[in-house]
Amino acid sequence: MDLLDAVMLCLLVTLAVTTAVAWRSGNERRDVNLLAVLTALWGAGTAAALGW
């Protein structure tokens, strides 16, 4: 695993945790949905980079 792959995975986990915490703490639905979309896009990018 490259350093870039490790950084991408760490950021993916951080985004997922941030989304979960934002949802559980009752933040605005619009903001939580934005975080969820960003997490999904970053996850797709990470999967593509790791599969490359």
Q: What's the pLDDT at 42?
A: 97
Q: pLDDT of 2-49, one tens digit each?
A: 899 999 999 999 999 999 999 999 999 999 999 999 999 999 999 999
d(CA 14, CA 7): 10
1: confidence class by pLDDT, cuts 50, 70, 90: confident
pTM of the model as a whole: 0.88
pLDDT given at position 30: 97
